Amino acid sequence: MGRGTRDYAYWSIGIALVLIFALIPVIWLISLSLKPPDAITDQRFIPSEVSFDNYKSLFEGGIDDSPFIKPLINSIGIALITTVISIVLASFTAYAIARLEFPGKRLILAGALAIAMFPPISTVGPLFDMWRSLGLYDTWPGLIIPYLTFSLPLAIYVLVAFFREIPWDLEQAAQVDGATPFQAFTKVIVPLAAPGVFTAAILVFIFAWNDFLFAISLTSSDASRTVPAALAFFTGESSFTQPTGSIAAAAVVVTVPIIVFVLFFQRRIVAGLTAGAVKG
């Protein structure tokens, strides 16, 4: 066997291992969600027959009685609102840090970094107490506010890294060529900044979508409980049945769209996750 063929074989094995490692839990959840309720304990990796009963039970009863629809709406709404506010605030800050000279710049970056390392559990008790007296307990803003705090450092760092790469001189060049400042900004700077802003938005959305600690600590009902928290409180059809099938189906519903999205924008996400990892 030639050296090229052998290398090819080694790399194939390496790549296959990475693929198996990444995909097994996802395939397993899909398989589990497709098993009919009486086959859920058959311990087979691939279902022997396929049924959509688990998915039907998730949406049964409409918005009022389904254990899943309201948490899904909460998750989407809370994550989207968090993303929009976080990106707007972080863009202001990142623009100032990337383009303007002012004392306190390093302090803001260091502070953001400190907050990224901050243990969220340390704020759960005070927030629980404060939110109950302020009427924010078990509301959307009650979750959006802590998500903002903990997503801003991420968004600021990603945006600063992207904004520093933008050739801002083009803005002036456009104005010299006769564009108004507004045109120069919207026609030149916005298209250049859009990929970075979009990347930061994906990362913030995933962060808010993923949170569990605040979601179970600061909510008590379907009024604001998000999917991760709702999953932890899922119950079976009766008190004797395990909710395994429903949990698996719900997990697939909240996972597959995100995976498709992540795969579609993978280049941007990799750039965002590693932004600033090499140079400050």
Partner 1 sequence: MSARTRSERKLAWMLCAPAVLAMLAVTAYPIGYAIALSVQQIDLRFPDESGFVGLDNYGAVLSSELWWTDVFNTVFVMVISVAIELVLGMAIALVMYKAIFGRGVVRTAVLIPYGIITVVAAFAWQFAFAPDTGFVNQLPLISDEMDWFGGRFSSFAVIIMAEVWKTTPFMALLLLAGLVTIDSGLYEAAKVDGASAWQRFTRITLPLMKPAILVALLFRTLDAFRVFDSIFIMTRGAQDTESVSILGYNQLISRLNLGLGSAVSVLIFICVFLIAFVFVRGFGAKVQEGRPGG
Rounded to the nearest 5 percent, the helix, strand and coil shares of the chain are 75, 0, 25
Q: By C-alpha distance, which of 134, 124, 133, 190 is closest to 163? A: 190
Residue among 186, 196, 187 at smallest CA distance from 166: 196
Residue count at the site for partner 1 (CB under 8 A)?
105
Among 59, 76, 81, 95, contact with partner 1 (rule: CB under 8 A): 95
When binding is defined by CB under 8 A, the residue of 34, 136, 143, 154 that contacts partner 1 is 154
Binding positions for partner 1, 195-254, rule CB under 8 A: 203, 206-207, 209-210, 212-213, 216-217, 227-228, 231-232, 242, 244, 247-248, 251, 254
Q: CA-CA distance, 196 to 261, in Å (whole number)?
A: 16
**Dist CA 250 CA 255 (whole Å):** 8
Q: Does 174 bind partner 1 (CB under 8 A)?
A: no
Least CB distance from residue 171 to partner 1, whole Å?
Answer: 16
For residue 11, the SS3 value is helix
- In the complex with partner 1, the residue whose CB is nearer, 175 or 255, is 255
State the DSSP code for 277. T
107-146 residues near partner 1, rule: CB under 8 A: 108-113, 115-130, 145-146
Residue from the set 36, 141, 195, 276 that interacts with partner 1 by CB under 8 A:
276
Nearest distance from C-beta of residue 154 to partner 1, angstroms: 5
C-alpha separations of 74 from 3, 202, 217, 227, 231 in Å: 56, 18, 15, 8, 13
**Nearest distance, CB of residue 180 and partner 1, angstroms:** 20
Q: Which is nearer to partner 1, 62 or 106 (CB)?
A: 106
CA–CA gap between residue 73 and residue 111 (Å, rounded) = 33
Residue whose CB is less far from partner 1, 179 or 258: 258
Using CB under 8 A as the binding rule, the residues of this chain from 4 to 23 that contact partner 1 are 7-8, 11-12, 14-15, 18-19, 21-23
What distance in Å separates the CA atoms of residue 264 and residue 213, rounded to the nearest whole number? 29
**Minimum distance of partner 1 from residue 103's CB (angstroms):** 7
Contact 36, 58 (CB under 8 A): no
